[in-house]
Structure 1
Amino acid sequence: MAGPLLAYGPGRRLARGRVVTKTREAVAGLVVTLGRPQTALVFVLFWSALTIAVFWPVGLLAHSLEDAVDWPVLLWVTERRNPTFEEFNWFYTALGDRDPLKKVVVAAAVVFAVLWRRRFWLPLVAILISFPLEQYVQAILAGMVNRGHPPTGLGSYPSGGIARIVMTFGAIALFVALTWELKRRWHVVLGTVVFVLAFYEGYSRMYTQKHWITDVISGLIFGPALFLGYAVAVCILAGRFPRRTPASAGIAAGVSESDGDKQPEVVPA
């Protein structure tokens, strides 16, 4: 329900809001001045720094709730775990580990590089960079908060397994949408699938006691927040954001194709 609700409710209103409009204008100005590749890089670095600045105090708050929230939930789960269900959760939670997702990232990058033909470099670079982007931003936050982990696991703040799933499968869903002309409902389906995968990853991390519950909740917010900036940067690089308008077409016309302002070619399905 979360995907359709966000897509057709608050998400649609937010996309038409003043903040998004001002962001679009600012990005358009940077594209004209710097070019698309440079603007995409600047944006993703800015967004990463902003994400760290926002989730640092959130991590300190999570740490302060350890005795009041984390320990009671950990003990509650301990008393109610079922061996068969636990085995399934141990199997599923491995999906968020680094090793399997490295293979998924590489395979996806190669597949979309082939599909994008002459612009093969774009998905190759963008999809491959999603993995270290999440890893290093999450590692910086974990070091800044340094809250420790449950005695039953080694999970840190925020849950990297959740964030990796959001970034990896979110990047794949993003390039599916960029490669083929899909109707809006399919965009909602893709977003919902990624959300469900991430949500259950969070549940499995909590059930297997690898993370405090506040790590899981933070990861479910941190992952999509970081992905949002990554997705905008990819769309800038691909020429999908901001879209040219009649008013800005004359200004953009003065930028050479070497500056990266050329619109992407249509990629066949």
Structure 2
Amino acid sequence: MVLLYFVAALAVVVPAVAGPLLAYGPGRRLAGGRLAATTREAVTGLVTTLGRPATAVVFTLFWAALTIAVFWPIGLLAHSLQDAVDWPVLLWVTDRRNPAFEDFNWFYTALGDREPLKRVVVVAAVVFAVLWRRRFWIPLLAILASFPLEQYVQAIVAKMVDRGHPPTGLGTYPSGGIARVIMTFGVIVLFVALTWRLSRRWHVALGTVVFVMATYEGYSRLYTQKHWLTDVITGLIFGPALFLGFAVAVCVLAGRYPRPEPPAAGPVAARAPEAVAAS
């Protein structure tokens, strides 16, 4: 039982420490790498050809299909580990649950349920629509779209893998509760960053908060035995992966990615200072 408390503490401490480390380490290198540059060039070409709204839709659909293609074989691998990994963990947790701590985890795990997050999504969409005034349709459309995007992509992956659920719960692969927390609160943090000028430290701090919320959501789903362990682990990868592509699409729609380059100075403008000096 003590070990379960220790794991709960790790579910908070580890993402709180890992979030900034990932953002300032691999995250920064990835943003400045060749893959990011290639993606930027491709998106720039699409924006030039199709315009920003159409590009945002195309990129979202492409990323959703890519996410499905990646997490389908991962799900098959998770299914193959059910007897070796998931069942021993489920039985181990069953023998060590504490009624008082279980009540807290049942309370917290409801954060990832569909009904409360639907209300959060609607309220956030309305609030940011008011803040964005003439461009109200961007947050209204994007925030509301985040919920069905996660739901249907996760449902397609779950149907393709069809691994079943624990006898103690109805959770499917990958954990939708974790992915919903990441998508819902992630898109809120994204619009906070798009609405107000915040430093990179604030961006990292807010992203880390969402990471902590999602990680403990995974722990609570495991403690309440709604999911297999492999559902939880893959949910912590699936959620950020899906959100990353959606965040790029939102930034495209909002005109923040790729950033328009300032017009280059023409020959006349370049010679103007020399002409003035000569006169």
Q: Say whether the fold is shared (TM-score over 0.5).
A: yes
Residue in structure 2 matched with residue 158 of structure 1 by the alignment: 174
Mapping for residues 100-249 of structure 1, pairs under 5 Å: 100-246=116-262
Work out which of the residue numbers 70, 73, 85 in structure 1 matches 2:86. 70
What's the counterpart of residue 275 of structure 2?
A: none
Structure 1 position 9 matched with structure 2 position 25: yes
Q: Provide the secondary structure at the position in 2 that maps to 1:149.
A: coil
Which position in structure 2 is the counterpart of 1:47?
63
- Residue identity (%): 82
Larger Rg, first or second structure (1 or 2): 2
Aligned pair partner of 2:102 in 70, 82, 86:
86
Distance 1:68 1:241 in 2: 44
| Partner Cα distance (1:48, 1:190) in 2 | 25
C-alpha deviation, 1:2, in angstroms:
1.8
Deviations 1:93-128 (A, max 9, x none): 000000000000000000000000000000000000
RMSD (CA atoms): 1.2
TM-score by length of 1: 0.91
The Cα shift of 1:247 comes to: 6.8
Gaps of 5+ in 2: 1-16, 267-279
Structure 1 residues 11 and 247: alpha-carbon distance in aligned structure 2, compared to 1, 3 A threshold: farther
Tell me which amino acid in the other structure corresponds to 1:25.
E
Runs (5+) with no aligned partner, structure 1:
251-269
Cα deviation per residue 1:218-244 (whole Å; 9 max; x = unaligned)? 000000000000000000000010012
Aligned CA distance change for structure 1 residues 19 and 118 (closer, same or farther; 3 Å) = same
Residue type of the partner of 2:125? A
1:239 partner amino acid: G
Is 1:56 paired with 2:72? yes
Q: Does 1:97 align with 2:113?
A: yes
SS at match of 1:211: coil
CA gap of 1:45–1:61, structure 2 versus 1, over 3 A, is: same
Kindly provide the amino acid, as one letter, of the partner of residue 151 in structure 1.
P
Offset of residue 248 of structure 1: 8.5
| Matches of 1:7 and 1:225, distance apart in 2 | 15
- How far off is 1:246 after superposition? 4.0
Change (3 A) 1:97 1:154: same
Structure 2 CA distance for partners of 1:99 and 1:249, relative to 1, 3 Å: farther
Normalised by the length of structure 2, the TM-score is 0.88
SS, match of residue 120 in structure 2: helix
Cα gap change, 1:247 to 1:218, in 2 (>3 Å): farther
Q: 1:249 to 1:200 in 2, by over 3 A?
A: farther
Give the superposition deviation at 1:6: 1.2
